[in-house]
Amino acid sequence: MKIVIAGAGVVGESLCSELSAEGNDVILIEKEEKVLNKLVETYDITGLVGNGESYETLLEAGADSADIFIAATESDELNIISSIIAKKIGSKFTIARVRNPEYSSNMQFVREGLGISLMINPEMETAKSIANKLMFPVALSVENFFGQKASFISIKVEKNSFLNGTQLKNLEFSTKDKVIICTVRRDENVFIPTGDFTILEGDVVYVAGSIEAVHKFYDRIEQSNLKIGSTLLIGGGTISHYLIGKLIENKNKVKVIENDRTRAEKLSEAYPKAIVIKGDEADQEFLVQEGINNYDATVILTDSDEENVVISMFVNSITNSKLITKMNRTLLLPILENNTRTSTVVPKKVISDMIIRVIRSKTDMRGSTMSFLYRLENQVEFITFEINENSAAVNVPLKDLKLKKGILIVSILRDNKMIFPGGNDAIKNNDSVMIVAIASSIEDFDDILE
C-alpha cells in the first residue's frame, strides 16, 4: 500500500516505523532536512524535503496516486489544507491530525464539508483513555470495544489476590457475569493461557467481558474499594482541556496546576467548576501546599517527559493516590510501570493504533472489517472484526477451524449479546468477533486461519 505522510514529529516517526515494518511503501514529507535524513536512514522509507501544503510537493511525493495520505504536522491548519489538496489531486483516503478544541467541537461538520476522510485528535482520545483508567483505579489499562458494550482491563496480580496460585479452569463465573482471562504477561513473556495455566503473583492478566461483568470482576479483585472522587491535574495543556470536562461529568472534584498564566486563565474561563492554580508544576513544596495528599488521583500532563518522571516519583513517595503519567517517549516507560499504582498514557500510541487500524481495514476487505485495535507493545494485538459472508470461517464450528499458533478467539457479539464461544459454536455473517494474536500483523479475520 502506498502511504504518504506529511510531518516527521513524534507521531510521524512512529507511523514511519510501524507502517514500513508492515511492508507498506511509505513516503515522508518534512521541511527540516536533518530530521528527514535521520528517519530515512533509520527506517525503510522514502523522504522528500518540502512543505506538506504545497501542491507541487504533494505531486512530487506521489499523493495523487496514494492509497492513504496522513497529515501529522504540528499545525492543525496545515494538516487540514494538505489533506484537502491531497484528496483533490487523487489520494483515496486522507487522515488529518487535528488537536485544537475549536475544530474538534465541529469535527464532523469540518470533515464532511472539506472532504477529509478522517480527522483524529490524539489529545481528545488520550483524555478518553485517562477517564477510563480512573474508572478502574487499580487497573494498568482499560479499553472498550464492541461499540462500548464490552471492556478489557489489565491488572497486576498481588500476593493476597484470589487469583494468585489459581488454575484458570478452577475460576467460576455465572453465565451473566462471565469474563475471560485472554492473555497473561509474566516478566518479558506473554501467554495465551489454557485451563491448566496457573496465575502467579506479579503476573499481569488481561480480562475481557461485558462492561457490567468486568466491573463485577474488578470489584471482586480490588478489595480496597478505591473510588476516584477527586483528581489533581499537573499541567494544563490540551489533554487537560478535554479531560476536565469528562471528570466534571463524572462528578469529580478537579484542581489543575499550570505554570503558564494564559493557559491557566483559559482553563479557568472554560471550566468554572474546576479550580485552576497558576504555579510551578515541578515545585515539590508548592504541590504539598496545594494539598496533593488530599486527592484520590493525580494525573501528570506537563510537556516534558523528564519532568513528568520526576513528579511521578515524588508523588509516589508521599501519597497513595492513583497516578497516571503522560509520556511521549516509550524509552522511559519501564521506570514508571514497575509501580502498581502508576499507569502511563502515550498519545502517539493512541493515534498510531487508530491509524494502523484504519490502514489495515483498507488493505483487504475479503471477509471482514477491522473495527478495533489495541497493541501491547509489539507483542500482542487485541482486534475486533466485523464479519461478512465472504469469510471462510462463517458457519464453521470453531472446533473445525484450524487457527494459526498464538491466536485466541475471545468473544462474539451477536444481536447485542456477548458470547464466549465453545468448540460447537460457529461465527455467523454480521457477527463482531474479538481475537487476541501474539506477534502477528492481522489485517483480515481470515488471516488467523492456517
Please state the domain extents for the chain.
2-120, 138-221, 230-344, 350-448
Q: How far is CA 377 from the centre of its chain?
A: 11
User: Taking the alpha carbons of 245, 247, 249, 251 in that order, is the dihedral positive or negative?
Assistant: negative
In the structure grid, which three cell numbers stand for residue 361, read together? 481495514
Rounded to 5 degrees, φ, ψ at 4 are -105, 130
Give residue 235's pLDDT. 96
Rounded to 5 degrees, φ, ψ at 191 are -125, 145
Contact 290, 257 (CB under 8 A): yes
CA distances to 85, 109, 124, 214 from 297, in Å: 44, 35, 19, 21
Contact 36, 57 (CB under 8 A): no
Give residue 364's pLDDT. 55
346's CB contacts (< 8 A; 6+ apart) are 326, 327, 328, 330, 333
**Pairs from 51-56 (Cβ < 8 Å, separation ≥ 24):** 51/78, 52/6, 52/7, 52/78, 52/79, 52/82, 53/78, 53/81, 53/82, 53/85, 55/85, 55/89
The beta strands (E) that lie in 168-203 are given as 179-186, 189-191
Contact 61, 27 (CB under 8 A): yes
Give residue 225's pLDDT. 60
432-438 and 380-387 strand pairing: antiparallel
Cα(74)–Cα(70) distance, rounded to whole angstroms? 13
Give residue 400's pLDDT. 95
269's CB contacts (< 8 A; 6+ apart) are none
Cα(340)–Cα(157) distance, rounded to whole angstroms? 9
- 230-344 maps to which CATH number? 3.40.50.720
Pick 138-221's CATH classification: 3.30.70.1450, 3.20.20.80, 1.20.1090.10, 3.40.50.12160. 3.30.70.1450
46-49 and 68-71 strand pairing: unpaired
Q: How far is CA 163 from the centre of its chain?
A: 27
Residues of the chain with pLDDT under 70: 104-107, 110, 223-226, 334, 337-341, 363-366, 377-378, 439-440
In the structure grid, which three cell numbers stand for residue 262, read together? 494564559
- 350-448 maps to which CATH number? 3.30.70.1450
| Residue 216: closest CA among 249, 272, 174 | 174
Cα(53)–Cα(152) distance, rounded to whole angstroms? 40
Domains 2-120 and 230-344 belong to one CATH topology: yes
Cα(109)–Cα(114) distance, rounded to whole angstroms? 8
In the structure grid, which three cell numbers stand for residue 151, read together? 471492556
Residue showing cell 465541529: 106
**Pairs from 373-377 (Cβ < 8 Å, separation ≥ 24):** 374/143, 374/145, 374/152, 375/349, 376/183, 376/185, 376/190, 376/206
Count of CB atoms within 10 A of residue 105's CB?
A: 10
Model pLDDT for residues 410-434, shown as the tens digit of each residue:
999 999 899 999 899 999 999 999 9
Give residue 271's pLDDT. 96
- What proportions of the chain, in percent to the nearest 5, are helix, strand and coil? 35, 30, 35
Residue 154, SS3 per DSSP: strand
Cα(144)–Cα(146) distance, rounded to whole angstroms? 7
Contact 432, 412 (CB under 8 A): yes
Residue ranges of the alpha helices (H) in 43-75? 55-61
Element (H, E) at 448: none
What fold does the segment set 2-120 form as a domain? Rossmann fold (3.40.50)
pTM of the model: 0.78
136's CB contacts (< 8 A; 6+ apart) are 142, 153, 218, 222
Cα(354)–Cα(349) distance, rounded to whole angstroms? 8
